Amino acid sequence: MEPSVSPPGAPKQAGTRRPCTGCSVKDLCLVSKQGSIAEVESALALIKKNGGSIDGRNAFGLGALHLATWRNHLPIVRRLLDAGANPDARDGESGWSSLHRALHFGHLCIAGVLLQFGASLNLEDTKGRTPIDLLSGPVSQANGDSPNSVATEVFSWGSGTNYQLGTGNAHIQKLPCKVDALHGSYIKTVAASKFHSVAVSSDGELYTWGFGRGGRLGHPDIQSGQTTAVITPRLVTVGLGRKKVNVVAAAKHHTVIATSAGELFTWGSNREGQLGYPSVDTQPTPRRVSSLKQRIIAVAAANKHSAAVADTGEVFTWGSNKEGQLGYGTSNSASNCIPRMVEYLKGKVFKGVSAAKYHTLVFGADGEVFTWGHRLVTPRRVVIARCLKKGGNANVKFHRMERLQVISVAAGVMHSTALTADGALFYWNSSDLDLRCQQIFSMCGRNVVSISAGKYWTALATSTGDVFMCDAKKRKDETPVFTRVNGVKRASSVCVGETHMLVLSSIYHPEYPPKPKIQSKKPSSEWSGVMEELDEDILFTDVKPETDLSVTNSEMSKGIPSLKSLCEKVAIQHIMEPKNAIQLLEVADSLEAKELKKHCEDTAIRNLDYIFTVAAPSIMNASPEILANLERLLDEKSSEPWSHRRLPTMTATYPAVIDSDAEGDNAGGFPRLRDSQKPASKLYGMSGYGNFLQKESSAEQAVSKQIRAIRKKLQQIEMLEAKQLDGHQLDDQQLAKLESRASLESELAELGFPTEAFSRPSVYVPNKKCEGSKKQKKKIKQAAQSDITSIKHEDKEQNHIKELPDVIPTHGSSEKA
């Protein structure tokens, strides 16, 4: 066949115009927001046909995946991800990804699916917030006031050459890893140095690990040559007896502690007199510094000197004074092995101390900070103030510099830092004799609660449990730039060594068994009225307290515990932890272990940020039903004191749609509400059928769910019939659905739902937007609800009529009698 050639001079035919891809993207965003899964499939097919992008945005900068996440529609989100949607695509307003939006609204089912498709937990928005930041709040608020409901975990990372990490790893560990040997021990403070690490429990027990040659660990078998290192935390049992350790400091070659009674103990190398007693070159086990009679409340240790603060506020130093780091007013090469008070600071009251290789820092009860060392032989005050300025560099003339209350200091070889009561962070160069202190403005608003400094690194922990670090090795004269440490959460304390770092995380762990609630006693006025009516014999008889009787009766009613209850108790006390709470929750749900399930739910919803950080695979592999139940609990508990989360706007908190067959039920669903004693249907003046806020029995829930699924299928069949009447051709699958109408109506009749109430002519407009179909569904649902209520009233009347002959005889029967 010859190709057709246009004659010369004839106008050229216009080429075929390609369809607009923007319209298809707009349709996809629209149906993702308020359409069904079938309409999403049609929009995806249209985008594929036109060559459009599935990650296209609407006029508000939102993509289809963002809108489906906001809607909490699991089938649509999964379909979009299967079609190639980018889970890390950001919106055009705040830089939020879909995971940001899911965790902000508490949509845990959607978050689990997004994690399965590779969504990043470390992606930051325009304000530097990760998705987990939108889920987490202050650690102290989340844990509550009860000390018995808080557990701790120790994380470490860095170089493990000397086994100072405590995980048994002797290589470089780039990500935070939990020290499993300390699990179950409530650790209250940690210390780190180049060769070893130290931890103190709430019971005053002392644990050390790392390279032990030189006696720094306090274990006598290391000095005898039996071993050279302790790879995991080990309890120090020699030298302390039953004394409880209160504070601890670790240096390169020695360790310093103070007991709860204020006694000072040291051990390790004593070449520069840093142990506080003479005539000993190496001390392998803890030994008391007998020359220091005061009660010690704070200690610090550096390479070749040590420092302590007494309860009277006096500061004592000893060891090497080569750089004037002892603060005696002179610098000499001779060592001072006996603790001596810093006379220059006499008369002031100090609360804390920190020491680095060549200098020492202290802060007082009045918030003042003093430092000495680096050839500065006498203490000098560090002026820490927030200088209020205009837009430029000019100071405001009518404003003086604001004085701040310092609550913590950290001495590092490169930089020294100070933390104020309002969470502001200040720094200065440690070797700067002018002590020019500046505020680190990049950490404003973070509310820092803990700081620590090592040789090159400086670290801090915020009130929300995040950890930030700064490397000053190459930026000694520049402002520190802190970066977030991923993989650790709920941090309450940090400690920096020379080559590694320790973080102490505080997590919520509910007490088991829970304490019984104490009933309030009656007022004396009420008891006086009761006592007047009592007989005299009762007044002189011994009656046990009411609480004892109630406990005895409850114990007698329980009897012998079952094997199931014993297994639940063992699982709660010895197996369950926040990291595996989701897995145990699924096991408890399948076995109907109510006590274990309740305990796991309480642990999970109060440690969600920790679980997402440390055990994200448990969220990814959890069933949608379990996560949907946690969503409901998260909303119900949002009004309790421990919850920082406030439920967002009602239009953005729809219940999770897990199955595509039930998506029609939520078309007219009600948003979740916080602090609402009434159901949402009553608050909005609507009667919702099967509302998830209404408490129903399990049998009623199963029947109502089955009725809704059948009604949804019948709605789809009616829509297909309308299409067939309009002349549309149906495929084999759609024809099979039409043939199943009779069986579905019979199932509906067996469940007690009249088919006449549902089989009304459907109004289908194919060219109308999906809003018309939603209105139609709403009308059908309201009509069905009215039919259900009428049926219930008829059943009650019939039952009442059936009961009447048994009670009141008829007139005819009385005549026969």
Per-residue pLDDT for 741 more than 60? yes
Report how far residue 802's alpha carbon sits from residue 661's, in angstroms, rounded to the nearest whole number.
40
What is the pLDDT at residue 707? 81
Q: Between 249 and 779, whose confidence is greater? A: 249
CA 17 to chain centre: 53
Tokens 């309030």 found at: 520
**Can the peptide bond before residue 516 be classed as cis, meaning omega within 30 degrees of 0?**
no
Which tens digit of pLDDT belongs to each residue from 56-114?
Answer: 888 889 999 999 999 999 999 999 999 999 999 999 889 999 999 999 999 999 999 99
For 177, list phi and psi in degrees, rounded to 5.
Answer: -130, 140
The answer to whether the beta carbons of residues 424 and 386 sit under 8 Å apart is yes
* CATH code of residue 481: 2.130.10.30
What is the pLDDT at residue 478? 83
Q: Between 685 and 247, whose confidence is greater? A: 247
Residue 228: pLDDT band (50, 70, 90) is confident
What is the pLDDT at residue 776? 56
606 and 722 fall within a common domain: no
Per-residue pLDDT for 667 more than 50? no
Mean pLDDT (the chain) is 79
286 and 323 fall within a common domain: yes
Residue 488, Cβ density class (10 Å: 0-12 exposed, 13-18 middle, ≥19 buried): buried
pLDDT average, residue stretch 785-803: 50
Report how far residue 244's alpha carbon sits from residue 183's, in angstroms, rounded to the nearest whole number.
20
Report how far residue 246's alpha carbon sits from residue 332's, in angstroms, rounded to the nearest whole number.
33
Per-residue pLDDT for 525 more than 80? no
290 and 187 fall within a common domain: yes
pLDDT average, residue stretch 303-315: 95
**Residues across the chain:** 817
What is the pLDDT at residue 473? 82
Single out the residue of 81, 78, 72 nearest to residue 106, CA to CA: 72
Residue 801: pLDDT band (50, 70, 90) is very low
Report how far residue 800's alpha carbon sits from residue 378's, in angstroms, rounded to the nearest whole number.
98
CA 812 to chain centre: 76
Is residue 812 classed as helix, strand or coil in its secondary structure?
helix
Domain membership of residue 576 (yes or no) is yes
**Can the peptide bond before residue 513 be classed as cis, meaning omega within 30 degrees of 0?**
yes
424 and 489 fall within a common domain: yes
Q: Between 89 and 20, whose confidence is greater? A: 89
Which tens digit of pLDDT belongs to each residue from 671-690?
Answer: 444 443 333 333 333 333 33
163 and 114 fall within a common domain: no
Domain membership of residue 666 (yes or no) is no
Q: Between 180 and 813, whose confidence is greater? A: 180
Domain membership of residue 15 (yes or no) is no
* CATH code of residue 82: 1.25.40.20
114 and 162 fall within a common domain: no
What is the pLDDT at residue 50? 86
What is the pLDDT at residue 628? 92
Per-residue pLDDT for 49 more than 90? no
Tokens 């109060």 found at: 606
> What share of the chain in percent tops pLDDT 70?
74
Number of domains composing the chain:
4
What is the pLDDT at residue 785? 59
At which of 508, 529, 549 does a domain end? 508
557 and 460 fall within a common domain: no
Residue 803: pLDDT band (50, 70, 90) is very low
What is the pLDDT at residue 398? 43
406 and 381 fall within a common domain: yes
Per-residue pLDDT for 696 more than 80? no
Report how far residue 537's alpha carbon sits from residue 545's, in angstroms, rounded to the nearest whole number.
18
411 and 352 fall within a common domain: yes
Domain membership of residue 670 (yes or no) is no
Domain membership of residue 522 (yes or no) is no
Angle, CA of 640, 641 and 645, to the nearest 5°: 70
At which of 595, 622, 649 does a domain end? 622
What is the pLDDT at residue 224? 66
130 and 32 fall within a common domain: yes
Q: Of 259-273, 350-364, 471-485, 700-714, which range is least confident?
A: 700-714
555 and 472 fall within a common domain: no
Q: Give the contacts of 608 (CB within 8 A, at least 6 positions apart).
A: 108, 135, 136, 634
pLDDT average, residue stretch 719-723: 81
What is the pLDDT at residue 757? 46
For the question of whether the overall pTM of this predicted structure is more than 0.75, the answer is no
470 and 330 fall within a common domain: yes
Per-residue pLDDT for 725 more than 60? yes
Single out the residue of 35, 36, 40 nearest to residue 79, CA to CA: 40
Q: Which residues of 254-265 are buried (b: 16+ CB within 10 A; e: fewer)?
A: bbbbbbeebbbb
Which tens digit of pLDDT belongs to each residue from 544-580?
Answer: 444 443 444 444 445 688 888 888 889 888 888 999 9
Domain containing residue 737: 698-805
At which of 622, 655, 674 does a domain end? 622
What is the pLDDT at residue 666? 45
Domain membership of residue 521 (yes or no) is no
Domain membership of residue 227 (yes or no) is yes
What is the pLDDT at residue 565? 86
Domain membership of residue 647 (yes or no) is no
